[in-house]
Amino acid sequence: MLTLHHLNNSRSQRILWLLEELEISYELKTYQRDAKTSLAPVELRAVHPLGKSPMIQDNGHLITESAAIVEYLCARHGPHMVPPVDSDAYIEHMELMHFAEGSAMTPALLALYVGRLGEAGAPLQPRIKEQLDSHFSYMEQVIRPSGHFVLDDLSAADIMLSFPAEIAVRQKRSADFPKIAGFVERMHSRPAFQRTLEKAGPYFEFS
Ligand SMILES: N[C@@H](CCC(=O)N[C@@H](CS)C(=O)NCC(=O)O)C(=O)O
CATH assignment at residue 128: 1.20.1050.10
Separation of CA 88 and ligand 1 centre (Å): 31
Q: Alpha-carbon distance 199 to 10, whole Å? A: 15
Report, as an integer, the average pLDDT of 186-191.
98
- pLDDT score, position 177: 98
Do residues 7 and 40 share a domain? yes
From ligand 1's centre to the CA of 107, what distance in Å?
A: 15
Is residue 187 a contact partner of residue 149, using CB atoms and an 8 Å limit?
Answer: no
pTM above 0.95, yes or no: yes
Give me the pLDDT at residue 147, please.
Answer: 96
Distance CA 138, CA 36 (A): 34
Residue 185 sits in the same domain as residue 196: no
Kindly state the percentage of the chain with pLDDT values over 90: 99
Q: Does residue 102 register a pLDDT over 90?
A: yes
Who contacts 116 (Cβ-Cβ below 8 Å, separation ≥6)? none
Q: Which of 123-127, 149-153, 183-187 has the lowest mean pLDDT?
A: 149-153
SS3 88: helix
Residues 44 and 69 grouped into a single domain? yes
Bridge partners of 55, per DSSP, are 5, 64
Pick from 9, 31, 52 the residue to mutate for probing ligand 1's pocket: most ligand atoms within 8 Å of its CB: 52
DSSP 8-class letter at 81: G
Asked if 189 and 181 count as a contact pair (C-beta separation under 8 A), the reply is no
* Ligand 1 probe mutation, 44, 47, 53, most atoms within 8 A of CB: 53
Q: Residue 17 belongs to a domain with what CATH number? A: 3.40.30.10
Ligand 1 near 11 CB (within 6 A): yes
Q: Are residues 6 and 92 in the same domain?
A: no
pLDDT, position 151: 85
Same domain, 65 and 128: no
In this prediction, residue 163 carries a pLDDT of 98
From the list 30, 31, 24, the residue with the least C-alpha distance to 1 is 24
Q: Residue 162 pLDDT more than 90?
A: yes
Note whether 16 and 28 are within 8 A (CB). Answer: yes
* Pocket of ligand 1 contains residue 39 by CB under 6 Å: yes
Q: Which domain holds residue 160?
A: 83-190
Query: How many CB atoms sit inside 10 A of residue 61's CB?
Result: 8
Asked if the model's pLDDT at residue 39 lies above 90, the reply is: yes
Question: Is the domain of 182 the same as that of 118?
Answer: yes
Question: What pLDDT, on a 0 to 100 scale, did the predictor assign at position 20?
Answer: 98
164 Cβ inside 6 Å of ligand 1: no
Domain match, 115 and 58 both: no
CB under 8 A, 24+ apart: contacts of 56-64: 56/2, 56/3, 56/4, 56/5, 56/15, 57/2, 57/3, 57/5, 58/2, 58/3
pLDDT attached to residue 207:
83
Atom 19 of ligand 1: nearest residue by CA position? 66
